[in-house]
Amino acid sequence: MFMNIPVEPFRIKTVERIRQTTREEREAYLKEAGLNVFAVPSESIFVDLLTDSGTSAMSDQQWGGLLTGDEAYAGSRSFYRFEAAIRDITGFPQVIPTHQGRVAENLLFSTICRPGITIPNNTHFDTTHANVAANGADALNLPVPEALHPETEHPFKGNMNLEALEKVLTERKGSIPLVAMTVTNNSAGGQPVSMENIKATSQICRKHGVPFFFDCARYAENCWFIHEREAGYKNKKVIDIAREMFSYADGCWMSAKKDALVNIGGFLAMKDEKLAQTLRNKLILIEGFPTYGGLAGRDLEAIAIGLYEGLDEDYLKYRTEQVRYLGEMLMAGGVPLVKPIGGHAVFIDALAFCPHIPQSEFPGVALTVALYREAGIRAVEIGSMMFAEKDPKTGKVEYPPLDLVRLAIPRRVYTNTHMAYVADAIVAVYKNRDKLRGLRLTYEAPMLRHFTARLEEV
Ligand SMILES: *Cc1c(COP(=O)(O)O)cnc(C)c1O
């Protein structure tokens, strides 16, 4: 009310020291790491924006929950609390705990996918895509056209392309066991999906008799955007928006490492008892007994508490405003970004940031090197290093349409002063952007090369 900066709705009870290094130290770390920030030890990083996954700060209530967690092998009190929270929010009776989101994906897609099957989604997250593809099925992305243009402002850029969905459901009748929707749409820049689009997707699925599931890692952030941006939701509580959203679906899976504010965990929830039984039988084989599924009782306790904290409106206001605060400071400094600013991260358009570096010389990676070298900040490239594909026959390299650098903001971890520091540093790098140099690979692994690649400056 008094200030334009997003004030933190918490005070700090425990602190963790972080240390700024000298430029010389950072040069040495970069050299050692082959100019790949994945290989830089976290202790030598000042502000770490590599990911918002599993990096949240837990609350005093959650840390208290770790002590009161029930570690019984079967029928733990903490499981019943976890199950009750998920049933309360989603309305789905069948609840299956897993140790991360991708195990939920593995259980589900190894059961329903095989060659000839198609799984449509607004945009598959990379682990989702991999779990569908690993079972021989087609992971089909159906984003709206606006999602592919970084400059285009749209309040719900994460929406499903409804005409395209209708068309595949007709053309591939009988080979689509489920339609998925990712909220917020992570791979499309953390952009939200509107309730109108959720409802319409649900109606199309019902018409074709196909179940509809959410990949809901960031559902609370999505519900907050509905509350803020969609007509008719201003006066509705965010938890009720969530309940409405889930009422249109048949099930969901979640990586609790995002909006459930914990460092590990995930789950599946659904209406279909028979499918749930099949998944539980598999769960026992690869994770554990159905009342813990690869987690300790204390983890289940922390998730049960974190799910409600993640829906707290003061928290969600601060959370989304902090991400926007960083984005707006960068825009004021002229830095080219994906617009509008998403829910969990700010994405820099690296092709516009350093137009003198061709995609073959990894402009996004060059920018991550400069951010670490100049300021001890770690970001991640989502561009030619991660996605360029070589045609095995012609040897010609196909580059992705965008080269982005993601600044993912961990939840409740950094203050707004840290955000101001990051913005200042990036604007300074932008002013000297003609000094950034292209890179070439000296080592690449045959798959997922971005994690272990080594590079040198051209
Ligand atoms: C993180 C994430 C996953 C995978 O979850 P993990 O907990 O990392 O295994 C799946 N889908 C989305 C949308 C995610 O953000």
CATH of the domain at 40: 3.90.1150.10
pLDDT of residue 162: 98
Residues 42 and 132 in one domain: no
| Residue that the structure tokens 């350093």 belong to | 354
pTM for the structure as a whole: 0.95
Identify the residue whose C-alpha is closest to ligand 1 atom 2. Answer: 255
6 is a domain residue: no
Query: For the domain that residue 295 is a member of, what is the CATH number?
Result: 3.40.640.10
State the Cα–Cα distance between residues 281 and 418, nearest whole angstrom. 46
CA distance 185 to 399: 22
Has residue 81 been placed in a domain? Answer: yes
Mind listing the pLDDT tens digit for each residue in 250-302? 999 999 999 999 999 999 999 999 999 999 999 999 999 999 999 999 999 99
Report how far residue 409's alpha carbon sits from residue 342's, in angstroms, rounded to the nearest whole number.
11
Residue finishing a domain among 278, 309, 340: 309
Distances in Å between the Cα of 403 and the Cα atoms of 77, 368, 385 are 47, 12, 9
The token pair that represents 1 in the structure block: 């009310």
Ligand 1 pocket, residues with Cβ under 6 angstroms: 53, 100-102, 125, 127-128, 182, 186, 215, 217, 255, 257-258, 266
Q: Are residues 434 and 398 part of one domain?
A: yes
How many domains is the chain built from? 2
Q: Which atom of ligand 1 is nearest to the CA of 257?
A: 7
> Cα(235) to centroid of ligand 1, in Å?
30
Regarding whether 303 and 333 lie in a shared domain, the answer is: no
pLDDT in tens, 371-388: 999 999 999 999 999 888
φ and ψ at residue 15, rounded to 5 degrees: -125, 155
- For 159-209, what is each residue's pLDDT tens digit? 999 999 999 999 999 999 999 999 999 877 889 999 999 999 999 999 999
Q: Do 108 and 244 belong to one domain?
A: yes
Q: Residue 429 C-alpha to ligand 1 middle, in angstroms?
A: 31
Provide the residue range defining the domain that includes 208: 60-309
Residue 182 phi/psi, 5° resolution?
-100, 120
* Active-site annotation, residues: 73, 125-126, 215, 217, 258, 450
Average pLDDT, the chain: 96
Q: Is the pLDDT of residue 3 over 70?
A: no
Q: Are residues 202 and 337 in the same domain?
A: no
Secondary structure of residue 71 in the 3-state scheme: coil
Q: Give yes or no: residues 139 and 288 share one domain.
A: yes
Substitution site in 255, 295, 409 for ligand 1 pocket (most atoms within 8 Å of beta carbon): 255
Bridge pairing between strands 118-121 and 47-48: unpaired
Spatial separation of the C-alpha atoms in residues 226 and 242, rounded to whole Å: 10
Question: Of the candidates 309, 324, 342, which is a domain's last residue?
Answer: 309
Please give the number of the atom of ligand 1 that sits closest to the Cα of 256. Answer: 7
Has residue 90 got a pLDDT over 90? yes
Query: At a CB cut-off of 8 Å and minimum separation 6, what does 54 contact?
Result: 257, 262, 263, 264
pLDDT value of position 286? 95
52, 125, 214, 287, best to mutate for ligand 1 pocket (most atoms within 8 Å of CB): 125
Summarize the confidence of residues 239-260 as an average pLDDT.
Answer: 98
Residue with tokens 């920018």: 367
The answer to whether residue 123 is domain-embedded is: yes
